[in-house]
Amino acid sequence: MNDHQGHQKTRRDCLRWTSASVAALAMSPSAWAQAKPASPPRLISLTGGMTEVIYRLKAERWLVATDTTSVFPEAALHTPKIGYMRALSAEGVLSLKPTAVLGTHEVGPPAVLDQLRDAGVALQLVRADHTFEELVAKVKVAAQASQQVALGQALITELTQQWQALQQRVERTPHAPRVLFVMAHGGKAQVAGQATAAHAMLTFAGARNPLFESTGYKSLTPEAAATAAPDVVLTTADSIQASGGLEQFWAQPGLAFTPAGRAKRLVVMDAQYLLGFGTRLPQAVDSLARQLGTIPA
**CATH code for the domain of 214:** 3.40.50.1980
CA distance 260 to 234: 10
- Which of 119, 149, 168 terminates a domain? The answer is 168
Number of domains observed in the structure of the chain: 2
Residue 3 forms part of a structural domain: no
20 and 163 fall within a common domain: yes
**Range of 55's domain?**
13-168
Instruction: State the pLDDT at residue 6.
Output: 52
- Give residue-wise pLDDT tens across range 100-146: 999 999 999 999 999 999 999 999 999 999 999 999 999 999 999 99
Whole-prediction pTM value? 0.87
Sheet holding 100-104, edge to edge: 63-66, 43-45, 100-104, 123-126
- Which of 168, 190, 218 terminates a domain? The answer is 168
18 and 137 fall within a common domain: yes
pLDDT winner (highest mean) among 3-7, 170-174, 208-212: 208-212
Mode of pairing for the β-strands spanning 63-66 and 100-104: unpaired
230 and 208 fall within a common domain: yes
Within 13 A of 167's CA, how many CA atoms are on the CB side?
21
Split at pLDDT 50, 70, 90, the class of 256 is very high
Split at pLDDT 50, 70, 90, the class of 3 is low
By mean pLDDT, which of 23-37, 87-101, 278-292 is the weakest? Answer: 23-37
Greater confidence (236 vs 7) lies with 236
162 and 197 fall within a common domain: no
CA distance 269 to 255: 18
Query: What percent of the chain has pLDDT above 70?
Result: 87
Q: At what angle do helices 149-171 and 281-292 cross, to 10 degrees?
A: 20
85 and 217 fall within a common domain: no
- Give residue-wise pLDDT tens across range 187-198: 799 999 999 999
Greater confidence (87 vs 6) lies with 87
CA distance 157 to 139: 11
118 and 233 fall within a common domain: no
CA distance 257 to 262: 6
